[in-house]
Amino acid sequence: MTIFVAQTKVDDGMNDNRTQIWTGDDLTDAEFSAITELLRERRQFDLGQYKDRCIRRRIAKRLRACEIADFNSYLNRLTLDSDELDTLLATISIHVSQFFRNPGTYQILEQKILPELIQQAQKEKRKKLTLWSAGCATGEEPYSLALLVDDLKSNDVDISVVATDISKPVLEIARKGIYDKGRLREVPPAAMLNYFVERDDGYQLIERIRQQVEFKHHNIMTAEEFPQVDLILCRNVMIYFTREEQEKILTRFASILPENGVLVLGRSETMTGVIRNYFKSEFPVERIYRRTAEPVKLSALVETA
């Protein structure tokens, strides 16, 4: 077990002589509002849609990393240093992941869900399926999908993977496809041998797999357009939003999925309210849902605003 002991930093007496080990709870409302306004103005990112305490903890993480003893110094840095502003945004928005996280979910996708989607497309004489990883962070989840798709291979149905995130720096990391062993512990040995190349800085996915995933900058809360897709993988993203915002996002997901389209959430995420009319639970433990034929009432987006 690794125990992190933060180093204390005492100011020079010009401020309030406080020793500061940032936790997030020690941010004042005014300080939190200052960061909120800066991110909204400079990056069009609205913290008001996210759970307050979670965001405060992630801001504190950057304050500790920068060894900041007083908040005004950090706010000044954010104002002048666009790289630190992007780093803060990435820290706030990123969710930690790994390849084939919760292997049972991917086993169901590989053995049942994806083959059924392919068969349905063939029956309807459709030539394309689109899979969307929403809130893809550093790319482990969309690349996991790409590995499943590559292994399945369908000659008459083209399967594409679209991956989106709000953080441009995080997307650049994802495009490189380089990961340490900790992110790869669920990858089967044969897949490691076939799909990854060892480097000094980790293991990189082969170019063919990297090219199968299209990474795009996208904010699921403010973007007017969502891609038309057959499957949405959005795991451990909803937990950062308020209940009202969760319902808005899920309603928009329902509006773009066809009947029997698939939505995969994180194991700790659930559906409540009107959104349950649009989905039926197929694998409850893995939080895998099918889109029902119920018409989506987009007015729900206004009702939950």
Q: How far apart are CA 143 and CA 211, in angstroms?
A: 10
Task: Tell me whether residue 77 is in a domain.
Answer: yes
196 and 214 both lie in a single domain: yes
pLDDT higher than threshold 80 for residue 49: no
pLDDT band per the 50, 70, 90 thresholds, residue 163 = very high
Let me know if residue 125 belongs to a domain.
yes
Which of 298 and 127 is assigned the larger pLDDT?
A: 127
Q: Please report, for residues 10, 66, 143, 166, the alpha-carbon distance to residue 137 in angstroms, rounded to integers and kept in the order given.
A: 35, 22, 11, 9
Same domain membership, residue 190 and residue 110: yes
The tokens for 253 are 């997901």
C-beta separation of 139 from 233 below 8 A: no
Residue (of 296, 2, 236) closest to 101 by Cα position: 236
21, exposed or middle or buried, with CB in 10 Å at 0-12, 13-18, 19+?
middle
Whether residue 46 sits in one domain with residue 68? yes
Q: Which of 70, 93, 116 represents a domain boundary (last residue)?
A: 93
Mean of pLDDT values over 243-264: 92
Lowest model confidence (mean pLDDT) among 36-50, 80-94, 189-203 = 36-50
Same domain, 11 and 84: yes
Rounded mean pLDDT, 83-98: 79
- Give the residue ranges of DSSP H helices in 68-219: 71-80, 82-93, 103-108, 114-123, 140-152, 168-176, 189-195, 207-210
Residues 71 and 209 in one domain: no
d(CA 239, CA 125): 38
Dihedral angle over CA of 186, 192, 194, 195, nearest 10: 80
Let me know whether 220 and 289 are in one domain. yes
Look at residue 169 in the predicted model and tell me its pLDDT: 84
Q: Mean pLDDT across the stretch 73-79?
A: 89
- pLDDT for 39 equals 85
Residue 214 lies in a domain: yes
Which range among 1-10, 15-24, 109-118 shows the weakest confidence by mean pLDDT?
Answer: 1-10
Quote the domain boundaries for residue 187.
103-303
Strand pairing class (288-291; 262-265): antiparallel
Count how many Cα atoms sit within 13 Å of the Cα of residue 171 in the half-sphere of its side chain: 19
Domain count for the chain, please give it.
2
Q: Is residue 223 part of a domain?
A: yes
Label residue 20 by pLDDT band (50, 70, 90). low
Q: Is residue 98 part of a domain?
A: no
Between CA 216 and CA 105, with CA 219 as vertex, the angle to 5 degrees is 75
Q: Identify the pLDDT of residue 18.
A: 40
Q: Does 209 reside within a domain? A: yes
Q: Are residues 76 and 141 in the same domain?
A: no
Higher pLDDT, 189 or 12: 189
For residue 176, the SS3 value is helix
Distance of alpha carbon 20 from alpha carbon 10, whole angstroms:
7
Based on the fold, state whether residues 40 and 144 are members of the same structural domain: no
Asked whether residue 71 falls in the same domain as residue 119, the answer is no
Asked whether residue 123 is domain-assigned, the answer is yes
Domain of 22, CATH number, reads 1.10.155.10
Task: Kindly tell me if the per-residue pLDDT of 305 is higher than 80.
Answer: no
Average pLDDT over every residue of 191-198: 96
Residues 72 and 152 placed together within one structural domain of the fold: no
Q: Looking at the structure, tell me whether residues 141 and 8 fall in a common domain.
A: no
* Domain boundary residue, one of 58, 93, 128: 93
Q: Say which CATH number the domain at 290 has.
A: 3.40.50.150
141 and 279 share a domain? yes
Give the residue-averaged pLDDT of 235-246: 85
Establish how many alpha carbons lie within 13 A of residue 291's alpha carbon, considering only the half-sphere containing its beta carbon. Answer: 22
Examine residue 58 and state whether it is found in any structural domain, yes or no: yes
Instruction: Tally Cβ neighbours within 10 Å of residue 152.
Output: 14
pLDDT confidence tier of residue 12, bands split at 50, 70 and 90: very low
Q: Which of 36, 65, 93 is the last residue of a domain?
A: 93
Residue 8 has pLDDT above 60, yes or no: no
